[in-house]
Amino acid sequence: MKQYENTDKLLEKLIEDSEEYNSITIPDGEANKRNLIRGLMNVRMPRAVSSELLDLQDKYLQEDLAAKGVVGLQDVRTIKDQYGSSFVYADKISLWQGDITRLKVGAIVNAANSQMLGCFIPGHRCIDNAIHSAAGLQLREECSHVMNKKRVRYGNQYKEPVGTATLTKAYNLPSDYVIHTVGPIVYGELTDSLQEELRNCYVNVLKCCEKNGITSVALCCISTGEFHFPAEEAARIAVQTAKDFLLRENNIERIVFNVFKDDDRKIYEKILKLV
């Protein structure tokens, strides 16, 4: 089956599945169709998904992943190998720039929001949207089940607090798991409390790895996008927290600092003393 045939069939099924957009017209052009597929996935509220829709979606997402290319841990060099770094635990730390949804590691970290259901803005460029879009509809469904259980326990108004770490399956992602954490939002001055909240995000993500036998993890730049945490200070907190964690006896074999923008790569290179 050709890629465009998969695209058409999945799009038809998504439109049929949609209560609000089931009269939408399928656009011309592969890029427009793919954008619409992502948008319909983004806005779909969590609910049961038919096996036919999931089969089409999974085939589509796996073909998309193959086209992007999976990056295995063996392809991500440590800073000792890549830069000749003498930084403490340089043989366990990597700096990798690229799309986190391509990484085949034990877990990737998602910078989630307090609803923990992913980003509902069609095609939004945040990491939450990217991870849910690449993982598939199953990820939102699992996150919804997790939140519903917590609302039974804590009340209907429950929102995920800043700094926790929630483990889910990764579905169509090449990683084994996704760890979701809600970072602090900076509205004005960067306070000690906000810095401590970000530190807790990284601490609890690493503790989650240790608890679940996850030996490799890709850490994203939590809170530095839509949540406005200053990028350089955030990177300092991430690196220091990882270093402190590795000083303890644990099963972590590799921590990958994942960056997407050139500016963030330069910040981490400076903090890790690679330049």
Which single residue is written with the structure tokens 């981490």?
268
Residues 140-173 pLDDT 10s: 999 999 999 999 999 999 999 999 999 999 999 9
Single-letter amino acid code for the residue at 118: G
Neighbouring C-beta atoms of residue 42, cutoff 10 Å: 18
Average pLDDT (182-200) is: 97
This prediction's pTM: 0.95
pLDDT (0 to 100) of residue 140: 98
Residues 34-71 pLDDT 10s: 999 999 999 999 999 999 999 999 999 999 999 999 99
What is the DSSP annotation of 177-236? EEEEEEPPP-SSS--HHHHHHHHHHHHHHHHHHHHTT--EEEE--TTSSTT---HHHHHH
Distance in angstroms (rounded) separating the CA atoms of residues 208 and 167: 7
| Radius of gyration of the chain from its Cα atoms, rounded to whole angstroms | 19
Q: Is the pLDDT of residue 4 over 70?
A: no
pLDDT (0 to 100) of residue 3: 59
With cut-offs at 50, 70 and 90, classify the pLDDT of residue 1. Answer: very low
Q: Is the pLDDT of residue 217 over 80?
A: yes
User: Taking all residues of the chain, what is their mean pLDDT, rounded to a whole number?
Assistant: 95
Rounded to 5°, the CA angle 148-142-123 comes to 110
